Structure 1
Amino acid sequence: MTTTKFHVAIISGGIGGLTAAIALSKSNDIQIDIYEAAHKYTEIGAGVGMWRRPWHVMRALGLEGPLSQLVDSTTEDERVAFTFRKGDQAEGFTFFQLKNPMGGLSFHRADFQQSLSTHLPTENLTSHFSKRLISYTVPPSPTAPIILNFKDGTTAECDVLIAADGIHSTVRGEMFRDLAAAAAAGGNDDGKEKRNELLGMVDPRWSGSVAYRGVIPRAKLEEISPGHRAMEGGVNYMGQDKHIIVFPMAHNQLINIVAFCSEPSKEGTTFDGQWVHDVPQSELLEQYAGWEKEVMDLLKCIEKPSRWAINTVGPLPTFNAGRVVLLGDAAHAMTPHQGSGAGQAIEDAYIISALLTSPLTTFTPRSTSSDTSSNTKTRTTMLHEALKIYDAIRRPAGNDVQRRSRINGFLYEFNDARFPEVFPLILGHGAAGDNADNTGEKDKERLKHMGEEIEKNWEWAWRTEAETQKDEALRMLEERATRV
């Protein structure tokens, strides 16, 4: 009979949390508990995109089969992922097609999460529902358990705390308030400045953008606009300070529409109002008045749009404090302009799980020993090292994707003020430029170059592998084990 070596608590059962749980459960040395605030596993939002890199992670975890049933094809032949159009004028035009191996997989978010939840094991994993974390306590002793405090008055214990609790992360708030207090303990000006910087990481910040969302039946669009290009693949309609992402999902039976409107000068401020609420269709249509007909046909299909404030986190200076780590949106909530938020949560889960399930971390002695205190000390030390390595590997990667996603957002909306290096690539912003209809060959060529710039900024998602990071993380773990 296998004896559990340590206990991991995962806060929230979203895509990142469930992926981490499935990956960790492959080791019988670890007991896993998922604490979900809702009464069942649920996801907010409609579509989730996935590129080749995170798809290979799902394959490595044995999840390719069930997830592939939710999409039409996962073959890795080169396909068009998105068609880029300049749509903020009466006669729009295509200027670039983003192609890559496998294209972009598009899932209905609820279906994706449901598929993950049905693959949770029962032997060494327990799901707890209606458990909203309000705080946690890390004891002075490195071997004593972390105490979790829930809204219903109950408590729980764990050796490692993985926070997959999203952009409003309770754990991130606690972590950075504690780090800020420690920084200010010296009482000098540098400490106070550091304190303020760390406290600034507690709450999300507005990106300056809102997104109008809607999911429509393909049949409805077919009725209004037979042969509409959005029924065949992803489209990005671009304009000044606005763009619209459209893609089919659920075996092409549904069309996901996300229409962005931005005020770049308000990036980094606090959004005033509800983050998500329903709005009248007239508000949505007004925002895109004057855009090409195929755009307006799409928007007219959304009878009850909702408006979402797009908020972000960080970039954070650390994802780790002691035996506590941040994962997914809790660590690097980003704008959705590379379709990589879920993918980054999956990669976080893959790396942290590889480190925690390594025999170097679980520490199974090669020979029996009566010195259990020595074994516990070694295991505790290696746990700390594993979590530090997770931060060293995943923080630069997650923050970089967050940065790239932000850049894409500015490029999509012909908004290059913060990126002067791309200014020569963009001309004729908005519905009026150096050509009345912005259809001059010079403009088209420059927009094509902009499309190439977007592709270059994005190709990490299909030309690189998370496996490389996993190998590096395990190499670092092996190197540090020699010092223990």
Structure 2
Amino acid sequence: MLTWLTRGAGIVGLAFAVALNALDKERRFVIDVYEAAAEIAEIGAGINVWPLTLNIFKEMGVYETLIPYFDHYPDLEPRVIFGLRKADEKKGFHVHDIMNDGGALRIHRADLQKGLIQHLPLSDSNTDQNNRRCTLNLDHRLVDYTHESSGRVKLHFENQPSKECDVLIGSDGIHSTVRQLFLSHLPNPEKYEKYRKPVWSGLIAYRGLVSREALEEMYPGHRSLRHPGLTYAGKTRYLTTYPVAGDKLINVVAIARDESENTGVWEGPWKVEVTQEEFFEAYQGFDEEVMALIQCIKKPTKWALHVLDHLDIFSNQQVFLMGDAAHAMLPHLGAGATVGIEGAYILASLLTHQSTSGPLNPEKIKLISSIYNTIVVPHANSMSKLSDETGDLLILTAPGFNLEQYTLGDKIPMETLQDVFGQVGKNWFWSASDPDEDRRRAEELLDRIGKDMGIQVAA
């Protein structure tokens, strides 16, 4: 039995369960999902699906289900991902286009969640009887786990009976209970004290959805109505738009550096509804296209953006962390979900590989854990660092470009802007990479080390 502990039916955890089901040809795994909430809620905002993510979805068998939700039909035609504009002045202007083969598919997060759930082999679904191998347990709040002498993991819940499993997957988000317990169970927990809780990045984000009709009425011919993605950049802040919900809505994310001293601790709730006036004030001086977008968002939300310090371990013994529970990062590259899905795909591949066929004993799990750390940890941490660097470029504070001499609204030489935004484009190199490259590396390690350890490889 494999247990997945989730929070809010997160995208990465769902992707892991669906991938495991698709790859588990021997039907060895039964998945128990424990959700702290009393119900599964559909969660909002947009998400980018890159060519490499799409290839994973094909392997998982969910590609056809998701097509109707994308903003355009998937193909490999060269497309603009984002048009980058200098916009913290009355007349903003275009500087650079970021492109790749296939572009980016935009989808509402709730639609992606819905599409993945359709492929989850839930025991109470209409799925074929032999394929009903996933049970969803709501209102189960984990308080601790213990390693049993049998090699299994015992889960201790608040106000619920304890349960046992062979493998525990913590995909319970940035506030992860599993992560905090996982770190406390390591041989040297004091080393990881600072990794237990997220830290505030010093950035805030304003978010909202704009209907095409409302924007067309407010600002006929607005660039965001006809462009696949735009970033309106200025000193210390930027605003990004792209279509979601089958092109019916425009997702707006505006990120700004908070000017107060950043101690790493945000006082108050992480997400609040704010007035439109506050949003206006934060982007005062930006061009009229930006102000029109803000004017269409009647109830914007404000988020304090938190991250995790880079862990050097995501798994130990029978416990694995994935997604934001392991590597919560800033959203500047739109890569957080993709990195999590890649990790989930790799772990599902290792668990179902021919080298680990038969009973999943502690020796095999230990080997899988070691390989998961070897492949997934450095990749996730490097992507988190790349996202940080991209954010500094987008808010025009990156070192090496002599940007420190400029303030909000200043005119910056076009040559400098082209250098800065050109580097932003280069930072998207990963979006069209081969998702099977790391999977193959992981499986090769599994074959080689497994043979050295005397683990029988199936014929």
TM-score by length of 1: 0.87
Greater Cα offset, 311-320 or 117-126: 117-126
Report the count of equivalent residues: 437
TM superposition shift of 1:265: 7.7
Change (3 A) 1:450 1:261: same
The SS at the match of 1:130 is: coil
1:174 corresponds to 2:156 = no
1:20 corresponds to 2:12 = no
What whole-Å deviation, never above 9, does each CA across 1:308-357 have from its counterpart, x for those lacking one? 11000121010012110100000000000000111111111100000001
Note the 1:283-294 alignment, pairs <5 A: 283-294=278-289
TM superposition shift of 1:25: 1.8
Which residue does 1:227 correspond to in 2?
A: 221
Write the distance in 1 (CA, Å) between the matches of 2:55 and 2:216: 34
Give RMSD over aligned pairs.
1.7
Write the distance in 2 (CA, Å) between the matches of 1:24 and 1:266: 45
Q: Which runs of 5+ in 1 are unaligned?
A: 1-6, 185-194, 365-375
Note the 1:279-358 alignment, pairs <5 A: 279-358=274-353
CA contact (8 A) 1:24 1:32 kept: no
Change (3 A) 1:90 1:44: same
TM superposition shift of 1:162: 0.7
Which residue does 1:387 correspond to in 2?
A: 369
Moved over 6 A (4+): none
Q: Counterpart of 2:10 in structure 1: which amino acid?
A: G
TM superposition shift of 1:481: 1.3
TM superposition shift of 1:427: 7.7
Write the distance in 1 (CA, Å) between the matches of 2:379 and 2:225: 34
1:479 corresponds to 2:459 = no
TM-score by length of 2: 0.92
Give % identity.
35
Which residue does 1:38 correspond to in 2?
A: 37
1:258 corresponds to 2:253 = yes
TM superposition shift of 1:413: 0.3
Which residue does 2:171 correspond to in 1?
A: 164
The SS at the match of 2:368 is: helix
1:413 corresponds to 2:391 = no
CA contact (8 A) 1:84 1:237 kept: yes
What whole-Å deviation, never above 9, does each CA across 1:117-168 have from its counterpart, x for those lacking one? 01112422212222222221122x3x43211122232221111111100000
Write the distance in 2 (CA, Å) between the matches of 1:268 and 1:205: 9
TM superposition shift of 1:264: 7.5
What whole-Å deviation, never above 9, does each CA across 1:237-295 have from its counterpart, x for those lacking one? 11111111111111111011111111388556111111001111111101111110010
What whole-Å deviation, never above 9, does each CA across 1:409-432 have from its counterpart, x for those lacking one? 11100112xxx3x325x5873445
Change (3 A) 1:43 1:316: farther
1:137 corresponds to 2:137 = no
What whole-Å deviation, never above 9, does each CA across 1:195-236 have from its counterpart, x for those lacking one? 2x4100000001110101111111000000111111122111
Match of 2:3 among 9, 20, 43: 9
The SS at the match of 2:401 is: helix
Q: Counterpart of 2:152 in structure 1: which amino acid?
A: P
Change (3 A) 1:352 1:11: same
CA contact (8 A) 1:76 1:102 kept: yes
Which residue does 2:61 correspond to in 1?
A: 62
Write the distance in 1 (CA, Å) between the matches of 2:259 and 2:356: 45
1:247 corresponds to 2:252 = no
Write the distance in 2 (CA, Å) between the matches of 1:431 and 1:173: 40
Which residue does 2:439 correspond to in 1?
A: 470
Which residue does 1:368 correspond to in 2?
A: none
What whole-Å deviation, never above 9, does each CA across 1:40-94 have from its counterpart, x for those lacking one? 3334441111211111111111111111111122111011111101111111111
Write the distance in 2 (CA, Å) between the matches of 1:400 and 1:354: 22
